Each structure stands twice: as C-alpha cells, then as structure tokens.
C-alpha cells in the first residue's frame, strides 16, 4: 500500500529534479523555451510514462493487490485499465523526446483518462467513503495535477502563443509582398490568355 502513496510523489520529484539539473547545466542565459521543453520532457517521461508502465504491471500482474489498494473488488476490468495504462505509458515515453504534436496528442489522452479516473475517485470518496490509499491518496491529486501541468506547459510551448521578434515580423511582411506580387503576375497572365 505504501507504493501507491510513494510512487506518484517520487516520480514527480524525479521529474522536477531532472528538469532542474538540465536547466542548471544549460549555459546562461537559460531560455524560457528550454525550461518548458525540459519540464514537458520529464513530466511525460516519469509521471506519465514510467507511472503508466508501473500501473500496467500493478493492474495486470498484481491485480488483487492493486484492487485492494484502491478499495475495490478485483474484476477483469483491471486488465483493461492496465492495458490502457500500458498504452499511455509507452506513448508518453515516445512523446517525451518528440515534438509538440506528439506531446499534445498524449496530453489529450492523459487528460481524458486521468481526470476521468480522478473524478471517479472523488465520487467513490463522497459516495462510499472510500479513503483507501489508491483512491484518496497522492494518486488522486496526480490524476489532476499531471495532465493539467502538461497542458499548461504545452500552452507555453505552442508557437501560436509565442511573441514574434521584429525580424520575424519583417520576414512575414516581405513574404506577403512576394505573395501579392505573384498573385498579380498570375492574374496578369490569366488576363493575357483571355485576350
């Protein structure tokens, strides 16, 4: 039962320590994008990836103990939850070292799965008074904290929300002038063809 309480906390601590070490080793000045990227990488790797694999092993190979830690009966549904955790864990490990789109896709799945699980835990606490460590312990908080933190970091990682430099604005203006000139040239050729 102690594992159920310690593993989610430990994986968050490891993720923050790894991100902190990466930032500390980075030459100064450290850019915001680098900090966001490393936080995303290690949150995807540890609290989603490793924890997903850990949950898979628990639900599939130690189903009785996993059910007891949650305060539920062991049913074949545990296998489905375990395999879903396997998929989330593997996808998270992959996305940790990939780009924005892979990370966003995993964040959407993690948000649906984990926030849904967190809601069920709250319903079980309110309705049944189930305060088992796997239902009302740290896992309840990380079910919400992990996907929300990743979504917030993805918001800051998105190019759409990054301020553009003056050089980027100048380049975009030049490209628009070139596009307009090409459209005018195409239209002029079209008019010549009609005549």
DSSP 45: I
For residue 157, give the H/E element and its range.
Answer: helix 138-157
Helix axes 2-25, 51-61, angle to 10 degrees: 160
* Angstrom distance (rounded) from CA 15 to CA 107: 16
Candidates 70, 53, 89, 60; CA nearest to 4 is 70
Could you give the 3-state DSSP secondary structure of residue 162?
coil
- Please enumerate, as own/partner, the contacts of 162-168 that have beta carbons within 8 Å and a separation of 24 or more: 162/33
- Per-residue pLDDT reduced to its tens digit, 63-107: 999 999 999 999 999 999 999 999 999 999 999 999 999 999 999
Residue 133 has a CB neighbour count (10 Å cut-off) of: 19
Which pLDDT tens digits describe the chain residue by residue (195 residues)? 567 779 999 999 999 999 999 999 999 898 999 999 999 999 999 999 999 999 999 999 999 999 999 999 999 999 999 999 999 999 999 999 999 999 999 999 999 999 999 999 999 999 999 999 999 999 999 999 999 999 999 999 987 666 667 887 788 889 899 999 999 988 888 888 776
Residues 6+ apart with CB under 8 A from 128: 71
């Amino acid at each position: 039962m102690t594992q159920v309480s310690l593993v989610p906390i430990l994986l968050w601590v490891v993720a923050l320590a790894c991100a902190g070490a990466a930032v500390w080793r980075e030459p100064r000045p450290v850019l915001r994008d680098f900090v966001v990227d490393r936080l995303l990488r290690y949150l995807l790797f540890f609290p989603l990836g490793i924890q997903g694999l850990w949950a898979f092993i628990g639900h599939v190979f130690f189903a009785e103990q996993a059910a007891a830690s949650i305060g539920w009966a062991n049913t074949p549904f545990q296998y489905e939850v375990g395999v879903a955790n396997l998929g989330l864990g593997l996808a998270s490990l992959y996305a940790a070292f990939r780009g924005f789109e892979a990370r966003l896709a995993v964040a959407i799945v993690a948000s649906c799965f984990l926030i849904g699980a967190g809601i069920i835990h709250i319903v079980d606490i309110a309705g049944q008074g189930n305060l088992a460590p796997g239902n009302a312990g740290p896992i309840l908080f990380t079910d919400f904290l992990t996907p929300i933190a990743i979504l917030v970091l993805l918001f800051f990682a998105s190019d759409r929300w990054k301020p553009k430099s003056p050089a980027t604005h100048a380049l975009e203006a030049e490209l628009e002038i070139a596009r307009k000139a090409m459209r005018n040239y195409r239209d002029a050729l079209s008019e010549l063809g009609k005549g």
